Structure 1
Amino acid sequence: MNPRQPDHIPQDAFDWYDEYAHGLMDRRTFMRKLAGLATLGFTMSALTSALLPNYALAEQVSFNDEDIKATYEEFDSPNGHGKGRGYLVVPSNVDTTLPVVLVIHENRGLNPYVKDVARRLAKKGFIAFAPDALFSLGGYPGNDDEGRAMQKTMDKAKIQNDFLAAAHFLKTHANSNGKLGAVGFCFGGYMVNYLAAVDANLLSAGVPFYGTPASKSLRKNIKAPLMIQLGELDKRVNDSWPEYEQDLKANNVEYIMHMYKGANHGFHNDSTARYDEKNAELAWQRTIAFFNKNLT
């Protein structure tokens, strides 16, 4: 059993949280709906502690780990917000070139979970870089509600250009072997699909976790191999998959899609009750193997 999840939380609660987290439901409505579950014996404190992130639970690799070195690095983004900044994690004592992986956060800025994902990649021998879309507004504010509200105010095209600039920054890193991968979650999954489509020569491999596709007009440009990671219960994102798959097939893109049984949107994020440890570990093992195959 997931230790972050009280027994028998109704699926409706996860669906409401997904709508709330993606701007389809306001906080007042979300809380009112949760309160309605009191008749089933749930307390508000139990539900909110399960559904809302607790990032103390998400650290798998310490920032003090001797095998890695983490710094914050800035990059130029002339077509975005002028300057960007991200969390760069490299294996310790790098004396050769290595594959590089861009790590793209959800729709709320560079939170601790995504930074931990970057550290996990560095532990596996990749140079990882996790940009913060909120840098021009002062950076991730320390909680997801504020971060989500901040990102919602920003120009989407400029954000996309910031991540495009970050990808070029990372691909040309002094220790890069020239092969760039990208992994992203939710909004970040969309960004992986976008980067694969906007520049056919940019990515050597992409792994979008529960992300919607790039606009249809761009999909014909995709050349990079893709590993699509989807949760079975994530109806909102899964509804976009059949058409996307048709386009990937039509353009002879090398891809594989994994559908994780019983998993919700966000199942890889180990800071909330949506976390599905078994499926998350399997998805991560597949991700690392996919990058090893295509980037080394």
Structure 2
Amino acid sequence: MTELHITQAMIDAYDEYTHLSLDRRKFMDKLTRLAGSGAAAAAIAPLLAANAAHAAMIAEDDARLKAEDITYPGAKGDVKAYLVRPADQSGKLGAVIVIHENRGLNNHIRDVARRIALEGFLALAPDFLSPLGGTPADEDAARDMFKELDAGQTIANGVATVAFLKEHESSNGKVGAVGFCWGGGAVNDLAVNAPDLSAGVAYYGRQAEAEDVAKIKAPLLLHYAGRDERINAGIDAYKAALEAAGKEFTVYVYEGAQHAFNNDTSEARYDAQAAGLAWERTIAFFKEKLA
């Protein structure tokens, strides 16, 4: 087969499939037209998707960490989660909620939680699909489950997560949140609804409604991908609302980067340079706000 060439139109089609109305069959039909053949489309599709087989940056059994699966009280029943802290913890730590994409609490997000913990934080990655039984192994099935979530209950579970971490024995009482894609939108929702949130970092996430911005108390760090027209359409209105309300926020747009540029399991969309810079800024932000 000739060398595979992934175009922006292919990436846009995948975004439409994962976030909007395109189903799997229609996506593959469209990708086949764009790629020129069914064989090429079949080879390109895995490069666009996240690949669970990619190795984690931080091993699950890394001796520098203590990690466990837990449950904690949500708004209406227990929430499943992955809790990680430094093994050599001395004193109380700033706490960070790590909010998953629209694939649920998968191995990639667990890996991100471990990365956060290694930076000296108490990291908790909740499974916001818990009201529906939790994240399934099939990530396409997980994506479909997000349509069934009750938005109000999801927000209430986020608020309950802040309360849980604020009172955790290893926490210093300051709680931040970082989220990616669906999770980025969840961070913005959390900033509106959780006055105790100390810092929020949203990666390419849906913005809060302008009329809700006045409720935000936490400083925000907002990362966007330059080639993400769907999400970026809301940046200007969000910035204007935040400025008008006198909120503390910083916006970075990573030119040339794709939506989901931080997800290193997605070969076609991962951008090491943008991800590295955004991560440095995220950790510095949390170290300042959660100390």
Counterpart of 1:111 in structure 2: which amino acid? N
Corresponding residue for residue 271 of structure 2: 276
Corresponding residue for residue 73 of structure 2: 76
State the structure with bigger RCO (CA 8 A, min sep 6), 1 or 2: 1
Matches within 5 A, 1:26-105: 26-39=23-36, 43-57=40-54, 59-78=56-75, 81-105=76-100
Corresponding residue for residue 188 of structure 1: 183
Corresponding residue for residue 3 of structure 1: none
Paired with 2:162 and 2:85, the residues of 1 have a C-alpha distance of 16
1:14 corresponds, among 2, 11, 14, to 11
SS of the residue 1:232 aligns to:
strand
**Which is worse superposed, 189-198 or 210-219?**
210-219
Identity %: 44
Structure 1 pair 40/279, CA: closer, same or farther in 2 (3 Å)? farther
1:227 corresponds, among 185, 199, 221, to 221
Paired with 2:170 and 2:225, the residues of 1 have a C-alpha distance of 35
Matches within 5 A, 1:135-284: 135-200=130-195, 202-272=196-266, 273-284=268-279
Counterpart of 2:71 in structure 1: which amino acid? E
Paired with 1:203 and 1:76, the residues of 2 have a C-alpha distance of 18
Counterpart of 2:218 in structure 1: which amino acid? A
Structure 1 pair 42/251, CA: closer, same or farther in 2 (3 Å)? farther
Paired with 1:38 and 1:188, the residues of 2 have a C-alpha distance of 31
**Could you tell me whether the CA contact under 8 Å between 2:257 and 2:271 is conserved in 1?**
yes
**Could you tell me whether the CA contact under 8 Å between 1:118 and 1:129 is conserved in 2?**
yes
Structure 1 residues 223-247: Cα deviation after superposition (integer angstroms, max 9, x where no partner)? 2111100000100110011010011
What is the CA RMSD across the aligned residues, in angstroms?
1.6
For this pair of structures, how many residues does the alignment match?
Answer: 288
Paired with 1:65 and 1:222, the residues of 2 have a C-alpha distance of 37
2:117 corresponds, among 119, 122, 125, to 122
Structure 1 residues 146-184: Cα deviation after superposition (integer angstroms, max 9, x where no partner)? 101112112121122112211211121111111111100
Structure 1 residues 31-79: Cα deviation after superposition (integer angstroms, max 9, x where no partner)? 101111332897123211201111222510011001111111111123x
**Could you tell me whether the CA contact under 8 Å between 2:223 and 2:278 is conserved in 1?**
yes
Paired with 1:26 and 1:189, the residues of 2 have a C-alpha distance of 23
Once the two structures are TM-superposed, the CA of residue 97 in structure 1 deviates from its matched residue by: 0.3
Paired with 1:40 and 1:64, the residues of 2 have a C-alpha distance of 43
Once the two structures are TM-superposed, the CA of residue 30 in structure 1 deviates from its matched residue by: 0.6
Paired with 2:35 and 2:93, the residues of 1 have a C-alpha distance of 52
TM-score, with structure 2 as normaliser: 0.95
Once the two structures are TM-superposed, the CA of residue 292 in structure 1 deviates from its matched residue by: 0.8
Unaligned runs of 5+ in 2: none
**Could you tell me whether the CA contact under 8 Å between 2:9 and 2:34 is conserved in 1?**
no
Structure 1 residues 224-277: Cα deviation after superposition (integer angstroms, max 9, x where no partner)? 111100000100110011010011101111111110010111010111121011
Counterpart of 2:40 in structure 1: which amino acid? T
**Could you tell me whether the CA contact under 8 Å between 2:4 and 2:44 is conserved in 1?**
no
Once the two structures are TM-superposed, the CA of residue 7 in structure 1 deviates from its matched residue by: 5.6
Paired with 1:280 and 1:55, the residues of 2 have a C-alpha distance of 18
**Could you tell me whether the CA contact under 8 Å between 1:108 and 1:150 is conserved in 2?**
no
Structure 1 pair 206/159, CA: closer, same or farther in 2 (3 Å)? same
Counterpart of 1:257 in structure 2: which amino acid? V
SS of the residue 2:210 aligns to:
coil
TM-score, with structure 1 as normaliser: 0.93
